[in-house]
Homo-oligomer: A and B are copies of this chain.
Amino acid sequence: MAKNAFYAQSGGVTAVINTTACGVIETARKHKNKIGKVYAGRNGIIGALREELIDTSKESAANIAALKYTPSGAFGSCRYKLKSLEQHRAAYERLIEVFKAHDIGYFFYNGGGDSADTCLKISQLSKTMGYPIQAIHVPKTVDNDLPFTDNCPGFGSVAKYVAVSTKEAALDVASMCETSTRVFILEVMGRHAGWIAAAGALAQEKDGDAPHIILFPEIAFDKQKFLQKVKETVTKKGYCVIVASEGAQYADGTFLADAGTTDAFGHKQLGGVAPTLATLIKQELGYKYHWALADYLQRAARHIASKTDVEQAYAVGKKAVEFALQGKNAVMPTIVRAKGKKYRWSIGEAPLEKIANVEKFMPRKFISADGFQITKACRDYLQPLIQGEDHPPYKNGVPIHAKLKNVLVKKKIKADFKI
C-alpha cells in the first residue's frame, strides 16, 4: 500500500520555491503505486503540528504546472524553529502522531539550514519512536548559504534581480549625476553571507563599471576607507553606485543598521543600511544621494527569474521524490557543478547531519583585496547561475500566478496542538 507524502515550505520564500513544489508533486503523481497523496503543510511545518494538511490531489495538473512561474510559498510558509528533541519533544511527537494518523511515510522539507536540522531530527525521532518516516530535505534559500550544494535554488533568481536592477539604476544615476544625484545605494538581503550583494557585480561588463563599491557582511566596514573610495569614484566617474548587504557590519560585529528586533529564530531584523550610508555620505562628502531598498521585491521577482535557477529548483524537487522512492532517508539533493569551462550541473546527494545548521560564507578569495569587489573566481562561480530568462505568462499587463484551492484534509486527531 502506497504511503502518503508530506511537503512543507519553510522560512523566507523565494521566486522559485513553488517550482520545487511543482517538481515534488508532479514527480510523486507519476509514482502513485508508491506515493499516495501529497499533503502540503498549511503555513509550513505548523500545518503538520495543527493537522492542517492541504490535499494537493485536489489541484488540477494545470494549476500544479502554474506553480513553476508563481513566486512565494503557495501553501504558506512559516518562521517556526523546532528546537532540540529535549526542548521541543511534544512538538516532534505531535508530528509523528499526525504523520501516523494520515499514513504519511515521506517527509519533504523545503527550506534552509534551520529546516535541514528539523528534518534530520524528525528522521532520528522516527527511528526511536518506531514509526518509519523517510525525511528528505529540499534546499531553498536566497542566501545561498547551505553547505555541500554548489548553490541554492532561489539564489540565482535573486542574484539576477540584483544584477539587472543594479545595471539599470546605474544608467539612471550616470545620466543624472552632472547636476543632481551623485551616489546611488541599493540595499540587498544577506544577513551573514554576502552572496546576494556579490551578484551586483554581474552588472559589470568591464573593470570600473558600476557597482563601484560592494559591501559584504564578511568584510568589516571601515568608514574612512569607504568614504575615500566613494570620493575617488565620484571624482573619477562623476557618480558612484554602491550595493550594500543588509548584513554589512563593523569589525566588532555590530550591524550598520540594527533595528533592535528579532524574529522567531532569534535572528536580528535588519533594514536600513542604505539610509545609514546615505546620511554618512551626505554629512562627510556632501553628495546628493538616492537609495533603494529592494526587500521582498528581490526574492519575489519571478518576472526576472534565472532560467538556470528555475530548472535547478524543479530538479531538486524531482530528485527529492526519487530519493524517497529509492528508500533514502536524512539526505538532501545538492547541485553539483561539473569540472570544465562550460557550465554543466547535475543533482547529487548529501547527508543531513553534515548540513544542518552550517552556514556557507563567501570565501575570502571571492572578494577583492580592497574588500569592495568580487574576484574572477567569484565571477566564474556566479555568472552561470543567472543565465537564461524564463518569462512568466502575462494577462492584463501583469504575470499570471497559480491559484490553488488549498483544500484541507479532514482532521483525524481530536486534540489541538498549541503552537
Contacts and interface: CB of A to CB of B under 8 A. Distances in A.
Contact of A300 (B168, B297, B383, B401): B168
Given A296-B172, A397-B388, A179 B79 contact: yes
A297 B292 contact: yes
A65 interface: no
Given A175-B77, A180-B263, A167 B401 contact: yes
Nearest to A184: B296
Interface string A284-304: 000010111111110111111
A96 interface: no
A73 B398 contact: no
A293 B292 contact: yes
A106 to B, nearest CB: 22
A316 B261 CA distance: 51
A154 B192 CA distance: 38
Contact of A168 (B72, B78, B80, B174): B72
A24 B138 CA distance: 53
Given A291-B293, A294-B297, A387 B383 contact: no
Contacts of A174: 72, 76
Interface string A165-182: 101110111111011100
A74 interface: yes
Contacts of A398: 160, 163-164, 167, 202-203, 386
- Interface-centre pick from A179, A272, A391, A394 (highest chain B CB count, 10 A): A179
A144 B6 CA distance: 50
Number of copies of chain A assembled together: 2
SS class of chain A's interface: helix, strand, loop or mixed?
A: mixed
A12 B165 CA distance: 17
A55 B179 CA distance: 22
A333 interface: no
A26 interface: no
- Interface-centre pick from A13, A306, A397 (highest chain B CB count, 10 A): A397
A348 interface: no
A396 interface: yes
Interface in A62-116: 70-80
Contacts of A79: 176, 179-180
A275 interface: yes
A286 to B, nearest CB: 11
Interface string A41-77: 0010010000000000000000000000011111111
6 contacts: A77-B176, A167-B399, A172-B299, A383-B397, A386-B398, A388-B397
Given A72-B168, A269-B288, A292-B293, 17 more contacts: A12-B176, A70-B171, A71-B168, A71-B171, A77-B176, A78-B176, A78-B179, A163-B398, A169-B296, A172-B296, A179-B419, A202-B397, A263-B288, A291-B295, A292-B297, A303-B304, A304-B304
